[in-house]
Copies of this chain bind each other. A is one copy, B any other.
Amino acid sequence: MTIKVHEKLLLTGAAGGLGRALRERLKANCSVLRLSDVQPFGEAAAAEEVVLADLADAAAVDGMVKGVDAIVHLGGISVEGPFGPILQANIIGMYNLYEAARKHGVKRLVFASSNHVTGFYRQDQTLTADHPPRPDSFYGLSKAFGEDLSRFYFDRYGIETACVRIGSSFPEPKDRRMLATWLSFNDLHRLITACLTTPVLGHSIIFGMSDNAVTWWDNSRAHHVGYAPQDSSDVFREAVYARTPQPDLTDPAVQFQGGAFVKAGPFDSR
């Protein structure tokens, strides 16, 4: 049962894959769900608002944030690519978002960080939130920046953030790596709900994964969030093995947690 503690909740990146998965689920978390993305993605339904905004546009972001109680920030670029667009959406965009939150008194955010913040650790290592970042890409680097930025806004202004290092959130795991990283849509929603409702959140880093048998991450630093996953990649394991080849252990994409991201690029400069 989802507990509703916020009147108006903002969901950014509402037109993306995870945004669409969360749109209905998050209605239980608020009275009004404000949806935002950079391009038009349809009309507001009942108890919804739609605000279009480019994250790199400070004024637009200010308008997007004004009047909400809490924010689930999925917006920005979520794959590896040239630095320029990532800079605009994920670095300047994060600055714009937190400045708007500060000005408008928003006190709690859930920030979609990524496992690619620590993608250059090996797949036979277990990480906690205390392991230093080892980003595997410009994308991962921008998420590390977002985590540090939100830490600053907590230490300086008391704004609470959960940095959710999302693994692989899809209807089902696509390959053997995702057996470890998979996060079901329902568990993603459970995790965001936990972050929104736990009495004291502080500034927390939490790995976003379902209750998979094979994992690389240890959430013991974030017990206070109260996340209890209920799904598991294990039910897909046999099928995944049947359709995928044995991994080549000399391939960096197999050795490191970031998978193919660790080999992406270099890209031409902006």
Contacts and interface: CB of A to CB of B under 8 A. Distances in A.
A11 to B, nearest CB: 21
A72 to B, nearest CB: 18
Interface string A103-121: 0000100000000000010
Interface in A221-267: 221-228, 234, 237-238, 241, 246-247, 249-250, 254-255, 262, 265-266
B120 A133 contact: no
A136 B152 contact: yes
A151 B134 contact: yes
A107 B246 CA distance: 12
Interface stretch (A19-27, A31-39, A201-209): A201-209
Interface in A113-170: 120, 122-126, 130, 132-138, 140-141, 144-145, 148-149, 151-152, 155-156, 158, 160
A124 B201 contact: yes
B135 A58 contact: no
B151 A148 contact: no
Contacts of A241: 3, 5, 197
A160 B249 contact: yes
A18 interface: no
Contacts of A266: 99, 102
A5 B200 CA distance: 41
A200 B155 contact: no
Given A136-B156, A213-B194, A214-B223, A200 B249 contact: yes
A77 interface: no
Nearest to A148: B144
Interface residues of A, number: 83
A212 B225 CA distance: 11
A5 B245 CA distance: 10
A52 interface: no
Contacts of A92: 87
A126 B222 contact: yes
Contact of A126 (B134, B135, B140, B220): B220
A179 interface: yes
Contacts of A46: none
Given A87-B91, A141-B145, A176-B199, 9 more contacts: A3-B237, A5-B241, A91-B145, A120-B155, A122-B202, A124-B204, A126-B223, A156-B262, A197-B241
13 contacts: A1-B238, A3-B238, A83-B95, A99-B266, A99-B269, A124-B201, A124-B204, A126-B220, A133-B148, A133-B151, A141-B148, A176-B199, A200-B247
